[in-house]
Amino acid sequence: MTTGTDPELLSLCGLDDGWLDRRVFWDQAVYELELERIFARCWLFVAHESQLPKPGSFLTTWMGEDNVLVVRRRDGSIGAYLNSCPHRGNRVCTAEAGTARGFVCNYHGWSFGLDGTLNGVHESAAYGREPTFDQARLGLTPVARLDTYKGLVFATFDPDAPPLRDYLGEFTYYLDVMLDNDAGGTEFAGGSIKSVLGCNWKIAAENFAGDALHAGWTHASGAEAMIGRGVAELGADDADSYHVNAHGHCWEFNLDGVGNAATLGDKRIMNYLRENQERVAERLGELRARMVGSISSVNVFPNFSFLPGQNTFRTWQPKGPHRTELHTWVLVNRNAPPEVKDAWRKGAMMTFSPSGVFEMDDGENWELATRSNQGVVTRRQRLYYGLGSDTAIDHPELPGNVHRGQINDANQRAFYRRWSQLLRAATWDDLEKTR
* Active-site residue list: 108, 211, 214, 219, 362
Q: Is the dihedral of CA 129, 135, 140, 145 positive or negative?
A: negative
For the bound state, the minimum distance from the C-beta of residue 139 to other proteins, rounded and expressed in Å, comes to 14
Residue 374 binding other proteins, by CB under 8 A: no
Instruction: Count CB neighbours of 276 within 10 A.
Output: 18
For the bound state, the minimum distance from the C-beta of residue 274 to other proteins, rounded and expressed in Å, comes to 23
Residue 121 binding other proteins, by CB under 8 A: yes
DSSP states along 26-39: T-HHHHHHHIIIII
**Of 188, 73, 192, which is closest to residue 142 (Cα–Cα)?**
73
Assess contact for 145 and 159: CB atoms under 8 A.
yes
* Binding residue for other proteins, selected from 368, 384, 397, 434, defined by CB under 8 A: 368
Residue 101 binding other proteins, by CB under 8 A: yes
d(CA 293, CA 253): 10
Cβ closest to other proteins, residue 3 vs residue 67? 67
Q: Which stretch binds other proteins (CB under 8 A): 270-278, 349-357, 394-402, 415-423?
A: 349-357
Q: Residues 287 to 346: which contact other proteins by CB under 8 A?
A: 325, 328-330, 342, 345-346
Residue 30 binding other proteins, by CB under 8 A: no
Q: What angle do CA 65, 71, 73 make, to 5 degrees?
A: 150
Q: Residues 176 to 205: which contact other proteins by CB under 8 A?
A: 189-198
Q: How many residues bind other proteins (CB under 8 A)?
A: 59
Render the burial of 306-341: b for 16+ CB within 10 Å, e for the rest: bbbbbbbbbbbbbbebbbbebbbbbbbbeebeeebb
Residue 95 binding other proteins, by CB under 8 A: yes
C-alpha torsion angle, residues 181, 184, 186, 187 (rounded to 10): -160
Q: Is the dihedral of CA 195, 198, 204, 207 positive or negative?
A: negative
Cβ closest to other proteins, residue 5 vs residue 221? 221
d(CA 200, CA 111): 37
Cβ closest to other proteins, residue 5 vs residue 124? 124
For residue 19, what is the enclosing H or E element?
strand 19-20
Cβ closest to other proteins, residue 154 vs residue 344? 344
Q: Which stretch binds other proteins (CB under 8 A): 83-91, 153-161, 169-177, 351-359?
A: 351-359
Assess contact for 59 and 47: CB atoms under 8 A.
yes
Residue 96 binding other proteins, by CB under 8 A: yes
Residue 355 binding other proteins, by CB under 8 A: yes
Cβ closest to other proteins, residue 130 vs residue 275? 130
For the bound state, the minimum distance from the C-beta of residue 272 to other proteins, rounded and expressed in Å, comes to 19
Q: Say which DSSP state 404 is in.
A: E
* Binding residue for other proteins, selected from 97, 138, 270, 383, defined by CB under 8 A: 97
Written as one letter, the residue type at 188 is F
Cβ closest to other proteins, residue 197 vs residue 387? 197
Q: Residues 250 to 279: which contact other proteins by CB under 8 A?
A: 265
Q: Residues 148 to 177: which contact other proteins by CB under 8 A?
A: none
* Binding residue for other proteins, selected from 109, 163, 337, 375, defined by CB under 8 A: 109
Q: Say which DSSP state 142 is in.
A: B
Residue 208 binding other proteins, by CB under 8 A: no
For the bound state, the minimum distance from the C-beta of residue 371 to other proteins, rounded and expressed in Å, comes to 9
At residue 28, φ and ψ (nearest 5 deg) are: -65, -40
Burial class (CB in 10 A: 0-12, 13-18, 19+), 409: buried
398: three-class secondary structure by DSSP:
coil
Assess contact for 156 and 44: CB atoms under 8 A.
yes
Cβ closest to other proteins, residue 78 vs residue 199? 199
**Of 90, 48, 33, 87, which is closest to residue 67 (Cα–Cα)?**
90
* Binding residue for other proteins, selected from 350, 398, 402, 422, defined by CB under 8 A: 350
Cβ closest to other proteins, residue 214 vs residue 382? 214
At residue 407, φ and ψ (nearest 5 deg) are: -85, 95
For the bound state, the minimum distance from the C-beta of residue 217 to other proteins, rounded and expressed in Å, comes to 8
What count of residues does the chain have?
Answer: 435
Interface ranges with other proteins (CB under 8 A)? 94-102, 104, 109, 111, 113, 119-124, 189-198, 218, 220-222, 224-226, 265, 325, 328-330, 342, 345-346, 348-350, 353-355, 357, 359-361, 363-365, 367-368
